[in-house]
Structure 1
């Protein structure tokens, strides 16, 4: 099940006016401005659907990705989503924080996952990339979050070599990451 938008309504068998009438009748649910889902579908995370619909290249990052990988106990207030620098941050109805990452490093450690309850996929960074990002952006996520994620990752048997390889490719990640690894190993 893909979300219906006014621009794609014809593919789903709706005209623009019938799209709005279906919403008024309760056949469609408006999850965000210009994004509708069939009422009988129960998508579990509207934030993910809106992010993937607004920016197909978006990737879950920072605290949201660390939480997804169960590396921190923190429950983020908003969904942290990375888009390539130079892209416009879309206006959203959901609790999404848009982060702009350098296009040359955007795909490092990036994979995609399906969004439960829909046919959409969204990008997500690997645990190693998330930890490296947490250290390089520690002023934003907090040093404790980065340190705690690294401790948990090491406890689970994470390989420091893979983490260092990713840290070397990202600006401002190498030094704090190496210092933390030195203290923890």
Structure 2
């Protein structure tokens, strides 16, 4: 049927532009679920998780799971250990994607990739957010200094050693200055917690 061929071409175009596409986005573009089902059967698309698709030959980024998470929760911001890993400030490879959501935001149900959601106040959720593109998907990630401060705020959850490792690497790699980290620590209410470590690191050059 010619419409199916046309829809298949359109679906491939949409996938090529967006990287990862939800079924609802296909429908909005005039592509039926039946067409996607047939493309799936023919190996022209792959299903990443329920309702999310990608081209089979799409290049996979090292941060692929962050792109999937951003598709699942577009308002969320990659945070804590996942943000540390994105900024290459930790050797930890979190099995779940850590994502900050608003105080009243909907909590995502089980799915892939697994998510660990942390509720942030509106002010802290909008502070120092980077807009990046991973596999063509817009992804929000907290900046380095903010991520360090957040790890100290949530040190009981992520572990004090992880927060310290991130701080040491940020200073060593010059990805954030002591003053930038101190600024975000102040905003997050952990200035007195971070200060001794910052002073020790900067004193040692």
TM superposition score category, shorter chain reference: 0.7 to 0.9
What is the DSSP-based 3-state SS (H/G/I as helix, E as strand, rest coil) of the residue aligned with 2:83? helix
Question: Are the counterparts in 2 of residues 4 and 12 from structure 1 also a CA contact under 8 Å?
Answer: no
Residue in 2 that maps onto 1:95 = 114
Equivalent pairs, count: 182
Q: Give the distance between the partners of 2:144 and 2:25, measured in 1 at CA.
A: 35
Residue in 2 that maps onto 1:182 = 199
What is the DSSP-based 3-state SS (H/G/I as helix, E as strand, rest coil) of the residue aligned with 1:19? helix
Q: Identify the match of residue 72 of structure 1 among 58, 68, 90.
A: 90
Q: How does 1:79-158 map to 2 (within 5 A)?
A: 79-91=97-109, 92-116=111-135, 119-157=136-174, 158=176
User: Which has the larger share of helix?
Assistant: 2
What is the DSSP-based 3-state SS (H/G/I as helix, E as strand, rest coil) of the residue aligned with 2:126? coil
CA deviation after TM superposition for structure 1 residue 11, in Å: 4.8
What is the DSSP-based 3-state SS (H/G/I as helix, E as strand, rest coil) of the residue aligned with 1:99? strand
CA deviation after TM superposition for structure 1 residue 14, in Å: 2.2
Tell me the C-alpha RMSD between the 2 structures: 2.0
Q: Identify the match of residue 160 of structure 1 among 163, 178, 200.
A: 178
The superposition leaves residues 73-102 of structure 1 with CA deviations (integer Å, 9 ceiling, x where unpaired) of: 222222212222211122222232222211
Shift of the 40–154 alpha-carbon distance from structure 1 to 2, 3 Å rule, reads: closer
TM-score of the superposed pair, with normalisation by structure 2: 0.79
Structure 2: gaps (5+ residues) = 1-16
The superposition leaves residues 155-178 of structure 1 with CA deviations (integer Å, 9 ceiling, x where unpaired) of: 23442111111111114x222112
Q: Give the distance between the partners of 1:31 and 1:114, measured in 2 at CA.
A: 18
Question: Are the counterparts in 1 of residues 79 and 100 from structure 2 also a CA contact under 8 Å?
Answer: yes
Q: Give the distance between the partners of 2:29 and 2:60, measured in 1 at CA.
A: 18
Residue in 1 that maps onto 2:33 = 16
CA deviation after TM superposition for structure 1 residue 46, in Å: 4.3
Larger CA Rg, structure 1 vs 2: 2
Structure 1: gaps (5+ residues) = none
Q: Which moved more, 1:12-21 or 1:104-113?
A: 12-21
